[in-house]
Amino acid sequence: MPIPLRSAEALLNVPDAIIDLSWSPDSTRIAVTGAGGLLWIAGVDGRLLATLAGHTDGAFKGRWQPGGNLIASVGQDGHVRFWNADGGAAPEPFAAGTDWVEQLEWSPNGEWLAIGAGRVLHLWHRTRGWVHRFANHTSTLSAITWRADSQVVGVACYGGVRLYDVGSGATAGELPWKTSMVSLAWSPDRKWVVAGTQENAIQVWPYPFSEGEELAMSGYAAKVRELAWHFSGRYLATGGGTEAMVWDCGGSGPAGSTPRILEGHTGRITALAYQHKGHTLASGALDSSVLFWNAGKSSSALRQIRLSSAITALSTSPNDSWVVAGCHNGDLAWIKFP
């Protein structure tokens, strides 16, 4: 059966390839990060509201503070930069001590900001400033994830995942695996930590972890940079090819199970985004399409949106009404969830 084809509700073009998207907590605005270094704020109706100076030579990520009005970004100028989206005072830029700063993730409660700068993890608190610095990593930090209660942060480097308690600044454990990782995500129910590895596979650790309980799942066509958890923690959606795979992590977990395979894209998947409290999954790909799925019930797509360029980022609004797709040619599309 053909996938129903729809058009986006609003479109905007910015003069750069879009590499990151992040919604305001009230679902009325979105921060857009361009590869060249600039950031923009756009309204839910597709209007451009502000242009931010960004980073010299290029940016990597720009993220809106959960529950707050700060936008933080990192880039090739070696700095963490802040903007107050409501026009108030913002913290001063922070020189992270390396030429490139690539990793940035807010804690779910918006209290903490984790920064990966080379082999160093910096932790900033909204009232206490720069609190912790961890430098004993074996390689450049390739990904950051937070436990749902915002008390523990995990970072990926060669050899596994290091965990830190942000309140005390103490090490909170390690999830070992002798390889490099390209992505990292903690399940919302705190039961699983998953990473995409250099070997075109995903590595899964139960949490709390005991040696020998880790699980590797291989056979992907490409590195799995795309990971998305259903809000319940039961389903894990992964990219790594033209098909999305959705693993059932309920009960004793995905060991020995067969994933649901979602077919519909003709190009490699580049982005995945679940609703925050709903069941719909959005997937974007190099073929310029965005598909919507209820992967817990069916392998058939609910809807298709065809845009003008490769999809480079997807982000779901906090109120679950919208997904915004960013494209390589700078197009930004607002799409209603089915």
Per-residue pLDDT at 4 exceeds 80: no
Which pLDDT does position 196 carry in this prediction? Answer: 98
Structure tokens at 164: 């830190």
- Phi and psi dihedrals of 208, rounded to 5? -65, 155
Does the pLDDT at position 253 exceed 60? yes
Q: What is the pLDDT of residues 301-324, one digit of tens each?
A: 999 999 999 999 999 999 999 999
pLDDT score at 76:
96
pLDDT 10s digits, 113-138: 999 999 999 999 999 999 999 998 99
What local confidence, expressed as pLDDT, does residue 99 receive? 85
Q: Write down the pLDDT at residue 252.
A: 87
pLDDT tens string 54-67: 999 999 999 999 99
Name 252's Cβ contacts closer than 8 Å, sequence gap at least 6.
none
Does residue 6 have a pLDDT over 90?
Answer: no
Q: Considering the chain, what is the average pLDDT of its residues?
A: 96
Reported as a single tens digit per residue, the pLDDT across 174-220 is 999 999 999 999 999 999 999 999 999 999 999 999 998 999 999 99
| DSSP state letters, 225-268 | --EEE-TTSSEEEE-SSSSEEEEE-STT-STT--PEEE---SS-
DSSP assignment, residue 209?
-
Let me know: does 194 contact 184? Beta carbons within 8 Å: yes
Q: Mean pLDDT over residues 268-288, rounded? A: 98
Is pLDDT above 70 for 2? no
| Whole-prediction pTM | 0.96
Cβ neighbours of residue 128 closer than 8 Å, sequence gap 6 or more: none
Give the residue from 163, 143, 152, 147 showing the smallest Cα distance to 103: 143
Q: Give the confidence band of 3 by pLDDT, cuts at 50, 70, 90.
A: confident
For residues 95 and 53, is the Cβ–Cβ distance under 8 A?
A: no
Give rounded-to-5 percent helix, strand, coil for the chain.
0, 50, 50
**Continuous H helices in 33-84:** none
What pLDDT is recorded for position 188?
98
Q: How confident is the model at residue 1 (pLDDT cuts 50, 70, 90)?
A: low
